[in-house]
Structure 1
Amino acid sequence: MTTRWLNPDEMRAWRAYISAVFLLEDTLDRQLQQDAGMPHLYYSILANLSEEPERQLRMTDLAERTKITRSRLTYAVTRLEKDGLVRREQCRWDKRGSIAALTDEGLAILERIAPGHVETVRSAVFDQLTPEQVGQLEEISRRIAGALEGQQGGGEDVPWRRRSSGAGCEG
């Protein structure tokens, strides 16, 4: 098989993309560590739970939304549980699964730190773009994510379906 090397335009675009992704994740992590003592991933877990009518999700659904492995989610939820921000419950309709639920304390923390997080996202991303570019960013991001999920066939190779040794069943 012949290697399909990137041409100069593609290489510049790739390097710019990687630089932006790394710098953005660092910026979000630093802001959230400063404001709440938590990484961006933990904020994302709390935010996803807060958007649900009963402020709870099956662990597998939460792993899919955050695009992480079940073992990484289990570790993060355990930490959030120790801090009183999330509680884990047995799934009533599937005894093999468990549910992560946002506590009242977790919601209060989220409501306190969300304005600073949103301002960081706005200033780092959306203030830099025109309305047309915002639409392009969404289209490009959806296309890349869709292709990557399609390549993995929606099977066991996507992060949220991967099993790792030592991780409990989070069905």
Structure 2
Amino acid sequence: MAPADVSTRWLAPEEQRAWRAYLLATKVLMDALDRQLQREAGIPHAYYEILVRLSEAEGRSMRMSDLADRTLSSRSRLSHAIARLEERGWVTREECLTDRRGQIAHLTEDGFAVLAAAAPGHVDAVRRYLVDVLTPEQLTAFADMGEAIAGAVSAEE
């Protein structure tokens, strides 16, 4: 590729290799995890993450705006997903008593049961595709790298 701007710091071959390896790894990992959840639990990874976040929240409930932030989802995308989860009886939505504009998403007992049934297969897949293929040192470095990347992006927003 010919540089369009001489001030651009183009990636050196090893930097390009790292970047492309990261792109490939994240794409194939997320695709594999999504397929596993679809096959074994009948839900996409995005729905699984919503159920996890609600299960970890106090009272298994969370403001919709906070849930959108924690799942890195737009408000409209989250609202659509919550509507699908409500249809299945896994989540309910309630008005926020302290803020009439806000809503609270609540994980139902049925939703928790679905999550509890899906979790073992998902954890097995995470182990198979990520944890077990890395040495303990690589896993620590991987966590450090992920936190550094997320921190750099968050600092710019």
Give TM class, smaller chain: over 0.9
> Which amino acid is 1:41 matched to?
A
- Structure 1 partner of 2:48: 43
Q: 1:130 aligns with which of 111, 132, 135?
A: 135
Secondary structure of 2:58 counterpart:
coil
Runs (5+) with no aligned partner, structure 2: none
Q: CA RMSD in A?
A: 0.9
CA positional deviation for 1:72: 0.8
Q: How many residues align?
A: 152
User: Could you tell me the TM-score, scaled by structure 2's length?
Assistant: 0.94
- Which has the larger share of helix? 2
Q: Any unmatched runs of 5+ in structure 1? A: 153-171
From 110, 116, 131, the equivalent of 1:105 is 110
Q: CA deviation at 1:42?
A: 0.2
Equivalent residue, structure 1, for 2:72: 67
Higher-RCO chain (CA-CA 8 Å, sequence separation at least 6): 1
Moved more, 130-139 or 21-30: 130-139
TM-score (norm 1): 0.86
- 1:143 is matched with 148
Structure 2 Cα separation of the partners of residues 145 and 71 of structure 1 = 23
In 1, distance between residues paired with 2:51 and 2:24?
27
Q: Does 1:121 align with 2:126?
A: yes
The aligned amino acid for 2:107 is L
Structure 1 segments, 4+ long, off by >6 Å, are none
